[in-house]
Amino acid sequence: MYFISKIVGLEEFQLEPQGIPSPQKAFAQLSCLLAAVTPLHNTAKLDERLYPVLEQRPSHSLKIPECLLHQQHHTSSAGETVTLHVYSISISLVPDSDEFKECFGRCYSDHRIQCYGLLTHLPLPPHLPMFDIFPRYGTATVQVRCEGTIEVDLKRMPLYRWFQEALFTHVLSLENITYRHDIIIKDYLILPLCKVIEQDQRCCYRIANPFLLELYHKWDTNKRNWKYKTLSGGDISEPLDMILVQTYRFGSQTNTEECPSYEVMSNSQAVFIATGVSDETPDSYLRPRESEQGVTFREYFREKYNLEVSNPDAPLIRVRHISKKYNMLWKRSDAIRADFLILEFCGVHPFPASLFNQATCLVTILWRVETFALTHELFARIPPLRDRQVPTASDPARLHLNQYFVEEGHLRDRLRRDEEYTGSICWMDLLQCITTKGCQESFDLERLEFLGDSFLKYVTSLFLFQAMPGHSEGDLTAIKSRVVGNKNLAVQATRYLDLPRYVMTKVFYPKKQWFPPYHLPTDFRDTSIPSDDSTIATGIKFQWEEYCKDIPTDYKHPYQVKDIADACEALIGLCFSKYGFRVAVEFLDYIDLMGNVKTYLLVDFLYTPCSYKGNNSRLIPETLAQLEEKLGYSFRNPALLLEAVTHSSAHVEGTSYQRLEFLGDALLDILVVCHIYPLHTDFQPGQLSDLKSFLVRNTTLGRICLQLGIHTHIIHWSESVKKKTAAAARGFVSEMQSKEDIDQTIDKMFGDVVESVIGAMYLDMEEDFDRVWSVVFPWFQEYYDMFAMQMTAEEEKRKKYRLRLCVDTTA
């Protein structure tokens, strides 16, 4: 008789493996497995150890949400209009001083322009939160609000697309980008909006078409640049709303009175905002440098540009330089210095100053909107969260104060299996989960990852302890390592959540790592453009993956397996902290965490308490009562305590402390984390990790074992254990021996016993975490205070060092 083995359920890999006939069943199964893994390994879906390989697609590294990608346009039945969603971008400035209070707030009486608008073919996520950005002159709160939909005449689309080039290339002067109308990746529009009062007295926003037409008439189509206007001294009045550029007249015979021809000075691409008329004249002195004698403005322009001032009595214009540092995610301390310009050597930019100032904020605003849209996409892919709520708006300050969340009550309450908590998730929480430390934001995923990592290990240990009662501690540890490893987390999160598409790993650098709508990087290789661009003209969706290959790597966010695993653990921590044990377990089941180990779901075991009672057939020694007194807890089921202090050399019917130690290790870890996480919101993730490691390390646990006298109750049949116990006890009670020497004599066994005792308490108390912690924490109080003193001393040293640096710098 021969056996033939087959594997079903591999349709997604287009595989139907079948083994060769074999007289032995085991060989038939092995041959079938070999037939299954060989093609997967050959196609790089499995690595050399036959573990799944993390899938990396070009589109994963480019962080553009689907709602802003180029899609097929939905035109009217007549094909003459297109429906666009309108979002107003309101910027409220809190200036650092009164002189900046009108940077965004001047009224445009001629066009009634209120703000910029974001127009998209697909709707953005609902209820986008307000957020803060930091221009040089204060703090600005941004609100992106839906104003409904409008029908746009397709004949106006060329004008609107031209404005994208004018705004991003010739106003903001973004580097390394090129306007492209033949290939569109980001398909949305930024346009000025004006407020209109409808017949029903309702206010609404409309595109400022008259203003756009006026701008277009001030555009030189041949030179693809602006036509600058000149002013005389009599034309200047306050308050000013002008942007000035240093220019000189060329070819006066080509000038017309309405539109004189000017060019930007070759050595200057700076733009300035006019703030007022000064008392200075061209014969006033420039600010002299330390190594130079002072020269007048007239002398400077004569020597530098060979230009003569025609009106030496005209006053100079007081101006401020407009910075081109468009990353406004952080507060900067750049000094804003007042300068002076000669009016006749200046051209007036067509943009009003307040609209120009708002334009400088657009890059940061659009980046934040894109990240929020990515966050919403990820939220929609997580049923345990999606089915409970929509993300809520949060305090805008939370984006910058590094204030994660402070739970009311104890985080330990979230560990209960029998309750589901009604939490709320804000946009900031989700954005935090996909922002790595490499982004250098004021927030990142590390704190939530710290929490999620501990919860993941606890849940996995609890599941394996309950689901595999016949396995040894060594087997459980090996399985747990495979389950909670970064490779498994990253592969499962990629398979079910497409998580690499959302994880951000690089610093936001607007000039070289971001491109606006209707633009592409200058180094775009064009290898994927079809020979016939009719697909673009007809609006058919382009091949996204192919285009991503052609975008330079500077614009992509590279990622490693650890980045994806950390983001997955941050999501686990978020589910646990907001909704508790049950929702976090649902999330783990959704990504099929245990798929490579068992066909069971976590919820099959983890929604009911553990029923393990120990080996009740063993005789309970009388000395256990003394141990209970030392521990400060009297066991209802002494068999659990007996198992917790039984060494493997004296095990009866396989009952030693090893399995309880496996459970207690993860339990102690999550209890410590739930205690320190909400208590130390001022700690950096590294400090939290150091504190946890200090408390749960083997040296600390071993010293607790010796302090409580647990070591005298360890049941063993080993001469080696007897010698280790005696040596550790002698070292501990010796007043002449240093702490380092004591630590060297503490064997891992003592720490394992403490963890097994904690695991036994947990089962005996029917998983009452508060009771367990009330008994256990006094054991750690001394070491907790010791670490706090070390942290305080280190902080004092850092303060003194920073103070010394400040003194040295001042000197």
Q: Which two tokens stand for residue 379?
A: 């939220």
Reported in sequence order, the residue ranges of 47-80 that DSSP labels E, i.e. its strands, are: none
Closest among 175, 365, 346, 166 to 273, alpha carbons compared: 346
Closest among 709, 687, 712, 662 to 791, alpha carbons compared: 687
Closest among 66, 59, 70, 132 to 503, alpha carbons compared: 59
Confirm whether 643 is a catalytic residue. no
Dihedral pair phi/psi, residue 439, rounded to 5°:
-75, -15
Choice among 441, 589, 665, 747 that is catalytic: 665
Q: Which residues pair with 190 in a beta bridge?
A: 118
Confirm whether 743 is a catalytic residue. no
Determine the Cα–Cα distance for residues 800 and 811; give it in Å rounded to an integer.
16
3-class SS string, 532-552: CCHHHHCCCCCCHHHHHHHCC
Choice among 165, 449, 566, 755 that is catalytic: 755
Closest among 555, 447, 577, 545 to 504, alpha carbons compared: 555
Given a contact cutoff of 8 angstroms between Cβ atoms, the answer to whether 426 and 392 are in contact is yes
Rounded to 10 degrees, what is the CA torsion of 572, 573, 579, 583? 20
Q: Which residues contact 135 (CB under 8 A, 6 or more apart)?
A: 93, 103, 328, 357, 360, 361
- By DSSP bridging, strand 138-153 and strand 81-95 are antiparallel
Q: Which residues pair with 392 in a beta bridge?
A: 426
Determine the Cα–Cα distance for residues 405 and 273; give it in Å rounded to an integer.
41
Q: Which residue has the tokens 């390989």?
A: 53
Given a contact cutoff of 8 angstroms between Cβ atoms, the answer to whether 654 and 724 are in contact is no
Given a contact cutoff of 8 angstroms between Cβ atoms, the answer to whether 454 and 411 are in contact is no
Identify whether 500 is preceded by a cis peptide bond (ω within 30 of 0).
no
Angle 170-171-177 from CA coordinates, rounded to 5°: 50
Closest among 535, 731, 715, 729 to 618, alpha carbons compared: 715
Q: Which residues contact 352 (CB under 8 A, 6 or more apart)?
A: 106, 108, 113, 241, 242, 243
Determine the Cα–Cα distance for residues 484 and 476; give it in Å rounded to an integer.
12
Given a contact cutoff of 8 angstroms between Cβ atoms, the answer to whether 136 and 336 are in contact is yes
**Cβ atoms within 10 A of the Cβ of 481, count?**
11
Element (H, E) at 139: strand 138-153
Inter-helix orientation angle 698-708/769-810, to 10°: 130
Please list the active-site residues: 665, 755
